Amino acid sequence: MRRDQLYLEAYDLLYTRFGPQSWWPGETPFEVMVGAVLTQNTNWSNVINAIDNLRQAGVLDYRSLSALPVDQLAEMIRPSGYYNLKAKRLHNLLSMIESSYDGDLQWFLEDDVWAARENLLNVKGVGPETADSILLYACEKPAFVIDTYTHRVFSRHNLVDEETDYHTMQEEFVNNLPTDTKLFNEYHALIVVVAKEYCKKTNPLCQQCPLNGLNM
DNA sequence: CACCAGGCAAGTA
DNA sequence: TACTTGCATGGT
């Protein structure tokens, strides 16, 4: 079976089983960007608490958050864990928009995907996954997000080798799928859903995973 | 109690 | 280059 057919069939199996996910759960692109940093190696439920703190304090927008001292920001995002580190990382991100886009968030959101990705990766604390999450879910650009779930699900199903790195794995998806933001959005979200359900680190329920229906 | 969660950077040899 | 470690809260 051809590689591109396999990747589309996997998507169809997941979509049929779980339906549209409509990620990212954020009300504005800015909120999505903040969430992308806060969720690094952290359960999403903890991130919600941190974001709610920011929202209730009325600082969940580019200008307000930029004006907030880092130590105060750290205290507000405490529930998300690594709060001192993430407060710095958020400010690094905001500083990049200030210096590279003259403080114009909209300019960043509409910038060329490769230029924006380059700028994001130059931010201390923003790696490939966070960068692609922002590009896909905030900027709505066709950047495929790879995360630990993606790696776990696809390596366990022998769709990629266990040792495959981020970039190689991303190319596998991009080269075998039509370049479609909506597709990339749903696909990544569906992988997270199926991983949480059937591909846990311990006690994996592989036998019942819908991806066993793949025609390989 | 141990383990996990939508990473990343810095340090070590 | 290839490992290892620090960062930290909250849920199971």
A194 C-beta less than 7 Å away from strand B: no
Residue length of chain A:
216
**Residue A25 to residue A159: CA distance in whole angstroms:** 28
Q: Which nucleotide is nearest to A42 (CA to C1')?
A: B5
A40 C-beta less than 7 Å away from strand B: yes
pTM assigned to the model: 0.97
pLDDT reported for residue A26:
80
CB A134 within 8 A of CB A32: yes
C1' of C8 to CA of A3 (Å) = 41
pLDDT reported for residue A202:
87
**Residue A31 to residue A24: CA distance in whole angstroms:** 10
C1' of B9 to CA of A22 (Å) = 32
User: At A70, is the secondary structure helix, strand, or coil?
Assistant: helix
Model confidence at A1: pLDDT above 80: no
**Residue A184 to residue A139: CA distance in whole angstroms:** 13
pLDDT in tens, A30-77: 999 999 999 999 999 999 999 999 999 999 999 999 999 999 999 999
A133 C-beta less than 7 Å away from strand B: yes
pLDDT in tens, A116-171: 999 999 999 999 999 999 999 999 999 999 999 999 999 999 999 999 999 999 99
> Residue at minimal CA–C1' distance from C10?
A46
Which residues in 75-104 of chain A line strand C, with CB less than 7 A from it? 78-79, 81-86
| Average pLDDT estimate for A185-204 | 95
pLDDT reported for residue A22:
85
A49 C-beta less than 7 Å away from strand C: yes
Peptide bond into A44 cis (omega under 30): no
Distances (CA, A) of A129 to A37, A92, A133, A145: 10, 16, 6, 6
Q: Which nucleotide is nearest to A192 (CA to C1')?
A: B6
A167 C-beta less than 7 Å away from strand B: no
